[in-house]
Amino acid sequence: MRLCLTLAGLMLVATAAADGQISPRFATSQISSEQWQTYLSEVKVVADVQCKVDADSKAYMCRSSAQRTLWVFTRKGHPAHPAVFRGVIVIQQTPQGPSVDLDRSGHYAGNRAAFEVWMKEFGA
């Protein structure tokens, strides 16, 4: 529920248009634990990023209004740990007006099956 509210909040602040598809951080879904840690470190230093622990979901959530992006990093005790989800609000201008979509990507360094189940939660 908190994740849905966070995504909805990002949609409200999304004002700029985005073009094209957004590439995932890594070329493959499976990454190493070191790559996962590097990604978390990179996100923490994004200029306007705000991060907080969500104890209920055993996740560390970071968001950037300027980038219209939400990152969710699993924490120890989460079945998919270590894993990360990234959602980017994409606004396209169409002849009918603005179209809003969520570009999703994710990476895992742990259990693939648990990661796939976790990622499905973001598609609901």
pLDDT at 124: 57
Strand intervals (E) in the chain: 50-54, 59-64, 69-74, 83-94, 97-108
Domain boundary assignment for the chain: 2-123
Q: What is the pLDDT of residues 65-118, one digit of tens each?
A: 999 999 999 999 999 999 999 999 988 888 888 888 888 999 999 999 999 999
In the predicted structure, residue 123 carries a pLDDT above the cut 70: yes
How far apart CA 89 and CA 38 sit, in angstroms, is 23
CB 61 within 8 A of CB 52: yes
Give the whole-angstrom CA distance, residue 67 versus residue 112. 28
Tens of pLDDT, residues 4-17: 434 434 333 333 33
